[in-house]
Structure 1
Amino acid sequence: MVMKSRMPALGVVLATFLWNLANGGDLDVWCRWNSSCVLEATYPAGDDLVVSWLRLSEEEATVHSFYDEADRLANQDRRFRGRTSLFKEKLREGNASLLLKNVVVGDEGSYRCAVATLASQSEFFFQLHVEAPVTIQIEELNKKLVCNSGESYPEPQLTWTTRPTLPLAILRGNVKVLQNETTLLYGVVGYVAIHAERDLEYVCDVNTTRTASRGTWRRTTLNISDTSKRIGCAPVTDESGLVWTFNTSEVIASRRAGQKYVVADAWAKYVEDLSEDGGIQLRDLTPDRSGEYTCVRRNASQTRVSVVFLRLAENGHPRAVRIELWVVIALLAVFLPCIIYCALKKCKRCRRDRKPRRSRRVL
């Protein structure tokens, strides 16, 4: 809440009371954890400026002070040392806003800014809240799906659902919430059993009082006998990034928002194209390329995972047949002349052995 006044002390008290009554409390300001945040305060410009920022708790703590044309930080609370500043070039224009750097969860609370000049007095009241956004990761582990929120704030809530819907008794999900003792950020992890016999998309929703994030996961199996195949990826709007992997760890191709996709060198001969909708066109596949192809696609509030188990038939595989045929031809080209030569030589020897031998007469 902001209150401005050019009245003397009694007028300031009355105006403050009326402002609080009309606006129902302090001005809520949300600051992102580990980032910089500005608490905005403007006043009627004047001479002999005095600015005092306080954190209101059981005992008032000095956040930042300015008077006699300079910062006065001798009494600054140690929790704010090196993390606060005013916009000096804007003070004469009537701007006493506070810049708070490297915001931590402990910064939450009520703040008061008092500004005085020869001509006026002003007061500003804030309720500072801290937020750390959820960053969902969802993956398979030991025949279970694991959904992880990363470190977030305020405390998140995690729920599992499926498409089509499975009853919760069958879904059998469980959730654990942990808090980092140093940062005070929360982490929530959800587990759910994978029902391989059902064609399901698993949905993990993680919500705080400020943000909502969703992760989805789906696996399908494709049996092919051709050497090329296009595999699709679940759609998202305003994509921030996409990654294709083989057997979970080997990167095939990736793409960042507004950039062209990059194909790993080892997969350049197999990737024909990565389309705008996230699908990947594969070519010249061989049976050793059978395995899990995973697409992870993200935006600011969503992570979608598409897993396709691609099984290439080895029998009747056209490329394999061509390779085997060339091997046979090469072997014949090398060994056939030797076989013919040996056969002819053997035949000559056989003919010689068949000729009758003349006996010698003994005199």
Structure 2
Amino acid sequence: MAEVFLFEFLVIQTFIWPCTGGDPKVTCVYSQSCILPCNVHTSSDSVILWNHITSEDSVVHSYYNGQDQLGHQNQQFKGRTSLFKDLISRGNASLKLTGVKVQDEGRYRCYSSTVKGFQKSFIELRVEAPVKEVDIKQVENRIICSSEGIYPKPQLTWSINPRSKIEIHTPTTVQQTQEQLYSISSSLLDSDSPDDLIYSCTVSSGRNSKRATFYRSYLHDSTTKQGKLEPLLSVCLYDA
């Protein structure tokens, strides 16, 4: 059981112990499960209380008399928390939080009390909804780039190859959903140049980024020597 717990902890989150002061930090992925670690005195009569200090010290999970006591649990966490009960007597009071939400971000306190005394520790939870994909397409004479379902607030950058006189400092629209996830979009006016162009759009958020590339190539008419006939378009999506 302990081996399964350790494997799950390593897979579903990033846990960072600070080198110089401050609370340890856990980065949890939006909508997935996450574990907030807490070590306590080894005891079979432990009282364990988890609080979300950021949201007015609300009760996240409580445990005593050998069972969960959730009568005062904050509604935000209802049905989403659990302890590893077979490990409590070995000093492990870690909290498992499922279906992680952006609202779960913030500072948590783990409080425990036994006949040996009481302990408390703090941990900072950060939520991350990585950039999953970037969509790039042409609509009339504009190249449009967009992505959605992202947290924290993303940034969008353009590049054009070969370098062009096209103004790439275009306005970017960022919107936030009720779930506090972000969507982002931007567009460029396509160049009238007959040269082949590669438009690249990168969306970044936290430690994560992805890039979509739009290839625009023109057929040339060698008989009439017109600059172009029909555009050939293709899209390639890959990690930045």
Structure 1 and Structure 2 fold alike (TM over 0.5): yes
Cross-structure match for 1:160 = 158
If asked which structure has higher relative contact order (CA below 8 Å, sep 6+), I would say: 2
- Distance, in Å, in 2 between the alignment partners of 1:293 and 1:195 is 14
Q: Does 1:173 align with 2:170?
A: yes
Q: Which amino acid aligns with 1:86?
A: L
Distance 1:128 1:209, change over 3 A: same
Which residue matches 1:137? 135
Question: Residue 195 in 1 paired to residue 191 in 2?
Answer: yes
Contact 2:196–2:218 at 8 Å: present in 1 too?
Answer: no
Q: Which range is displaced more, 36-45 or 22-31? A: 22-31
Q: Residue type matched to 1:122 in 2?
A: Q
Larger radius of gyration: 1
Mapping 1:272-287, distance limit 5 Å: none
Measured in 2, the distance between the counterparts of 1:137 and 1:102 equals 26
Matches within 5 A, 1:240-319: 294=234, 296-298=236-238, 301-302=239-240
Q: Of 97, 100, 116, which aligns to 2:97?
A: 100
Note closer, same or farther for the CA distance 1:166–1:291 as it changes in structure 2 (3 Å cut): closer
Name the SS for the 2:188 alignment partner.
Answer: strand
| Cα offset, 1:178, TM superposition | 0.9
Question: Aligned letter for 2:139?
Answer: L
**Following TM superposition, by how much is the alpha carbon of 1:59 offset from its aligned partner in structure 2, in angstroms?**
2.5
Q: Any idea what the Cα deviations from partners look like across 1:177-234, whole Å, max 9, x if unmatched?
A: 1111x111111101011215232211112122332222211122468xxxxxxxxxxx
- Cα distance between partner residues in 1 of 2:98 and 2:127: 13
Q: Match for residue 148 of structure 1?
A: 146
1:185 equivalent in structure 2: 181
Amino acid at match of 1:74: G
Structure 1 equivalent of residue 213 of structure 2: 216
Match in the other structure for 1:119: 116
Change (3 A) 1:112 1:49: same
Separation of aligned partners in 2, 1:36 and 1:113: 18
User: What is the CA deviation profile of residues 98-145 of structure 1, one whole-angstrom value per residue up to 9, with x for unaligned ones?
Assistant: 111111111111100012222353322111111111121111111211
TM-score, with length taken from structure 1: 0.54
CA contact (8 A) 1:172 1:193 kept: no
Deviations 1:7-58 (A, max 9, x none): xxxxxxxxxxxxxx98421111111111111111123312311111001036
2:41 to 24, 40, 44: 44
Cα 1:153–1:72, aligned 2, differ >3 Å: closer, same or farther? same
Which stretches of structure 1, 4 residues or longer, exceed 6 Å deviation after superposition?
A: none
Which TM-score applies when normalising by structure 2? 0.79
**Contact preservation (8 Å) 1:131, 1:210:** no
What amino acid is the match of 1:194? D
Name the structure with the higher strand share: 2
CA contact (8 A) 2:44 2:88 kept: no
Alignment of 1:56-71 (within 5 A): 56-57=53-54, 59-71=56-68
Deviation, structure 1 residue 154:
0.8
Taking the aligned partners of 1:22 and 1:215, their CA distance within structure 2 comes to 37
Give, in whole Å, the separation in 2 of the partners of 1:46 and 1:132. Answer: 37
* Unaligned ranges ≥5, structure 2: 1-17, 221-229
Count of aligned residue pairs for this structure pair = 212
Q: Answer with 150-159 or 23-32: which moved more.
A: 23-32
CA contact (8 A) 1:160 1:173 kept: no
**CA distance in structure 2 between the aligned counterparts of 1:91 and 1:127, rounded to whole angstroms:** 22
| Residues 123-174 of structure 1: CA deviation (Å, up to 9, x unaligned) | 22111111111121111111211111212011111121111222463x4633
- 2:216–2:233 Cα contact (<8 Å) kept: no
Q: Which amino acid aligns with 1:156?
A: P
Q: Which secondary structure does the structure 1 equivalent of 2:96 belong to?
A: strand
- Give 1:74's aligned residue: 71
**Mind listing any 5+ residue stretches in structure 1 that lack a counterpart?**
1-20, 224-289, 303-363
Q: Is the 8 A contact 2:144 2:187 kept in 1?
A: yes
Identity %: 35
8 Å CA contact retained: 1:31, 1:131? yes
